[in-house]
Amino acid sequence: MVLHRFLLSRFYQVRPQIFLRFKGFTMAEMQNAYICHPKGSDRFSFTFHYVNDNLGVNRKFNLNRECQETINTFLNRVQCNVEKIVNQVHAKRRKKAAKKKDSGENYDTEPAPQVTVELLRSGNPVPSDDSCLSLLESKDLLILSLSGKKYHIVINPPWVEDFQLPRSILSNFPVYPCKFVGSNLNQIDCEFVWYRKTQTGVEWKEIGSGFSYTPTVEDIGHILKVTCQPRREMISGPVVEAVSKSCVEAGPGECPFELRHAFTKERTVGDSFRVMTYNILAGMYSDTDIAKTELFAHCPPYALDIDYRKQLLMKEILGYNADIICLQEVDESVYDADLLPILSLQGYSGVFNRKGGVREGLACFLYTKRFRMVKTDTSLLSAELSERSCYSSIWNTVKNNGPLLERLKDKPTTAQATVVQSLERPEKWLVIGNTHLYFHPDADHVRLLQGGQTILFLEEVVSKIKEDHPAAEVSVIFCGDFNSTPDCGVFRLLTTGFAPDTLEDWKSNENEKISGLSLRQPFKLDSACGTPPFTNYTVGFSGCLDYIYYQTDSLQVKEVYPLYTDEEIKKYTALPNIVFPSDHIALISDIQWSR
């Protein structure tokens, strides 16, 4: 489980194979040298930029050294590295001078100047036999003198280790660094500036600022660059830059979800709050051969690529202005690099849970001006069936069903519970369930079993809250991709409270059929968006699989936002396509406290 209110601050790791482009230093920056020492590491990195116009040297130096080596050894290495460059430049000058001599011009025979290095601590030379570790632990003023040029040594400054722009950049869709990894920094404090130039151009034109930028039509055909001045409060580190590898391309035009945005321009207020659930189609699935050649063969490959789709996804999700966002099929990398940083800037906090060992899972985001995240819990359903006490009624019935247990083995289906408290009405609490049930044509019995488990899990979470907070008025909202149409047992269990042992679902696979198991659940639930004709639309199937269930005895639906027509989807054959970024559609509903 990963819980974040996004303040990007990761321990710096020394990775010599990664090189960043450092923007030209200002005079103030040239007077700084930087030591980065990861906590607990036996090595440190040392970075400085040496400029000497007289010698014709303009070079950034990076050293990776052992903490236990002596100051003398360290300074000798600094001296050798600088002398090597000075000598190379001097040799080139002598070669040019020799040509001048042959032509009768004056010939400079001066030897290469000697490089001198000295390290001062509070104005006094540091003993040469001291270890470098003493520098890393020092709080005194450290000055490096390099042939008379002085550097103030900053230890563990705000530092960017990896900084990149995405491969695909579309006009009218937000772009932001796809990789932004560093240490000792706070993304909110950092300063980002955006530039553009033509492919053959030389001059960069400033076009925007901030972590994200939305390219305009004028940017089409241009390369983008973004610079970052890493900061932590008043402390700054060296500026880095990232340049796009491809030009800005024309976007697909107005997407159908932007028409829905017309209904969600304003945020909810008072007793109502907006809930969204959305299976966003993980890149790890859309990038497979079977997805490209069979499942989504109707979709152009470029539009199936996650780098393209996530631009549409971010614009779509942000435009709904939801207070509670439940997502399924979230790539862990997309959560870390896209959803969390961008939604955090808009005032959301988030939680992510992997589905077992799979690198995709469930995410829940809260608008922090409306709700406080109290706690989160998760259950890996198959693995915990025999272990979690709340599942004992199910386990005792199925524990001797060998074929079923073999089917369930290693299934990564997960239930996520996020407990939140209303900031405007602190007595009101929500338990937000989020899940993505197992899919297979002959697995109605598995989904019904998983639905029963998830309800028991949520019931346990609710009971614990009431025990710890007796005054709390707790309601349940249960979102997800249930892979179940309204005629299935899961829908019946959740909306009527009972799934008898006579249901056909229990026999969807004759070899694994479940006998003698009836399920009950205590919550009065209904589907906030009803049962639309479809929430999933592919070439081979369309139907209602996604739901926002809400507790009817304490909550009521205030607004349901329009979905798409069959004609709107068929225009592009099926989902996903160039204007719909997933094979599912987002469900959005405004819900309010009923008392």
Question: Measuring CA to CA, which residue among 444, 414, 213 is closest to residue 330?
Answer: 414
H or E element, residue 225: strand 222-229
What is the sign of the dihedral through the CA atoms of 113, 118, 124 and 127? Answer: negative
Q: Are 306 and 286 in contact (CB under 8 A)?
A: yes
Give the three-state DSSP class for 88: helix
* Biggest alpha carbon–alpha carbon distance for the chain: 107
DSSP-derived secondary structure letter, 267: P
Point out the catalytic residue in the list 219, 323, 336, 481: 481
| Pairing of β 324-331 and β 358-367 | antiparallel
What is the sign of the dihedral through the CA atoms of 447, 450, 452 and 458? Answer: negative
Q: Which residue has the tokens 């950049």?
A: 169
Determine whether 481 is an active site residue. Answer: yes
Query: How many whole angstroms from its chain centre is CA 391?
Result: 33
d(C-alpha 205, C-alpha 184), whole Å = 30
d(C-alpha 433, C-alpha 364), whole Å = 9
For 332, phi then psi, to 5°, come to -60, -40
Q: Residue 174: is the preceding peptide bond cis (ω within 30°)? A: no
User: Amino acid identity of 443?
Assistant: A
User: Amino acid identity of 149?
Assistant: K
d(C-alpha 183, C-alpha 155), whole Å = 12
d(C-alpha 282, C-alpha 112), whole Å = 59
DSSP-derived secondary structure letter, 451: H
Cα 157 to Cα 47, 136, 239, distances in angstroms = 11, 12, 12
User: Amino acid identity of 366?
Assistant: L
Q: Which residue has the tokens 């993304």?
A: 187
User: Which residues belong to the active site?
Assistant: 481
